[in-house]
Each structure stands twice: as structure tokens, then as C-alpha cells.
A = this chain, B = another copy of it.
């Protein structure tokens, strides 16, 4: 939480191989120019869409192929989320970091399957969980022999159909491990559209800046060349064209807060 931040960036879901590659190319270009460590993120399956007819992605095998291809061609580490225990091993063959989805973060078999791969794990904090309870998930990983755990804030339930980011809670999690801020999913308005979540894309910059000002290990974002046409979570996605100016701000805030002289208040 004190080194320059790592960017976990990419697309919500692997819409098609060409688009994923284009998105990664843009992320690589921008982060290289800015000198930001970069991990490419995309899901091979969206396992909990609001509607059964919603696009879910290419599935495990094709998705891993695409990710492996991107990884090789761009020479970037890759992160993706795992939804069932049996997926952990094949995903770990390709992905450098495994992500534990928020709604599933307490499913013991999934946690131990991920931990068993030995790969670092990015645990999304469930919207229904207090920050302090993340300790239990970390302990489950440790008890499975894996202590390479990152904690990812993506908002907490605030009444119905709303998420709120508790900056103090995110700060508390820094005592437990590296903290990553998922600054685009936190823009969601669950159930805000007829058959999917709405989002607050126009406030993407402000929310991410506030999170970076806390002083954290990583920033997680999803972008799309045309958010309105995105097949999942477009209302929360950063337009790809805004990526560079957006990251310029985040990098500046990150550098500044990590450069401050320590100030302990008791």
C-alpha cells in the first residue's frame, strides 16, 4: 500500500478476441507511457447477470485461450475471476492472479480451490460484508497455505439499489494486506435498469481520485471503447478514450499521497 499503485485494467467481459486485444493494446500503450505496472483483466464468464439472456462471455476454454494469447502477445500478467472450484486449476495455468468474486467470497470450496493454486488472489469484498470480516477470508486462504491475498473494495450495500464506498473501511483493510480499489464497479446502481445494473460513469474520475487519496496498492478499472455498446456494465465503464487523462490524475494523486511525510494521529 506504499509502493506506486498497480493497475488492474481491462474489460468487463471478453466480448470477442479482437476487441479484447484492442483494449489491451490501448492499456499497454498508455501504462507504458506513464510507467504504471499493469495487469490485464477480463472475465471469461459473467456468472451472475440479472437476466438469463444477458451476454455471459466465451466460457472457460475459449476465454483462457484468448487470455493466453493476449498475455503472450503483450507480455502482460493477466487476472480473471473464477466462479467454481473446478475452474481454479485451469485458470491458474494461464492467469497470474485469480480473482474471487464478491458474492462468492465466502464459499469455502472456492476459496480453498483458489488458494490451492498458489497464485495470488484478489478477494472482492462482498457488498454485504464489513471490512473487519475480510479477516476470515484471508484466514481461509492462509489455512490453505496461501497468504498472497489482496483485498478489493467495490462498494457496500446502502439501502436498496445503491452502493457506497466506505473510505474508512478501505483504510482499515490496509492493516490486513494490499488493498485494491475497484473504482468502476463501485459506480454501479444495482437493479437500476430494467434488466441490469445502472451506473454512474460520469462520476468515475471523482470516485477514483478519492480512493487513490487513501493511499492504496492497486486500482481496478474496466473500460470500453463504447460504453453504451458494452455487453455488460457499460453504465459503469470508463470510455477507453479517457483512459490516459484519467490515469494521469490517478498517478499524480498516488505519487503525492505516498510522498507525504508520515502523519500518525493517536
Cβ of A133 under 8 Å from chain B: yes
* The residue from B133, B157, B191, B205 contacting A157, defined by CB atoms under 8 A apart: B157
Identify which of B132, B209, B264 contacts A213 (C-beta below 8 A). Answer: B209
Task: Determine the chain B residues whose CB is within 8 A of the CB of A104 once the complex forms.
Answer: 103-104, 107
Set of chain B residues within 8 Å of A167, measured between Cβ atoms: 165, 167, 206-207, 210
Minimum C-beta distance from A188 to chain B (A): 11
Instruction: Assess A52 versus B112: contact at CB under 8 Å? Given A200-B168, A207-B167, A210-B167.
Output: yes
Nearest Cβ in chain B — how far from A185, in angstroms? 13
Query: Which of chain B's residues have a CB closer than 8 A to the CB of A212?
Result: 213
Taking the complex as formed, is A26 at the interface, i.e. its CB lies under 8 A from any CB of chain B? no
By a CB distance below 8 angstroms, the chain B residues around A84 are 84-85, 109
Query: Across the interface, which residues of B come within 8 angstroms of A130, CB to CB?
Result: 160-161, 190-191
In the complex, whether A32 has a CB less than 8 A from a CB of chain B is no
Known: A168-B207, A206-B171, A213-B212. A265 touches B238 (CB 8 A): yes
A34 near B: Cβ within 8 Å?
no
Q: Which of B56, B109, B165, B265 contacts A202 (CB under 8 A)?
A: B265
Whether a CB of chain B sits under 8 angstroms from the CB of A229 is no
Contact with B along A17-59 (1 / 0, CB 8 A): 0000000000000000000000000000001111111001000
Interface centre among A84, A128, A204 (most CB of B within 10 A): A128
Q: Is A253 in the interface zone, CB < 8 Å from B?
A: yes
Residues of B within 8 A of A246 (CB): 263
Q: Is the CB of A133 within 8 A of B205?
A: no
- Are A205 and B160 neighbours in the complex by a CB distance under 8 Å? no
Query: Counting CB contacts under 8 A, is A215 at the interface?
Result: yes
> Is A164 part of the binding interface, using a Cβ–Cβ cutoff of 8 Å?
yes
7 shortest A-B CB distances, which residue pairs?
A159-B159, A130-B160, A213-B213, A48-B106, A209-B213, A210-B210, A157-B157
Q: A47-B107, A126-B128, A127-B157 are in contact. List 10 more A-B contacts (CB 8 A).
A: A50-B106, A52-B139, A83-B109, A129-B191, A131-B160, A168-B206, A205-B263, A209-B214, A213-B213, A242-B265
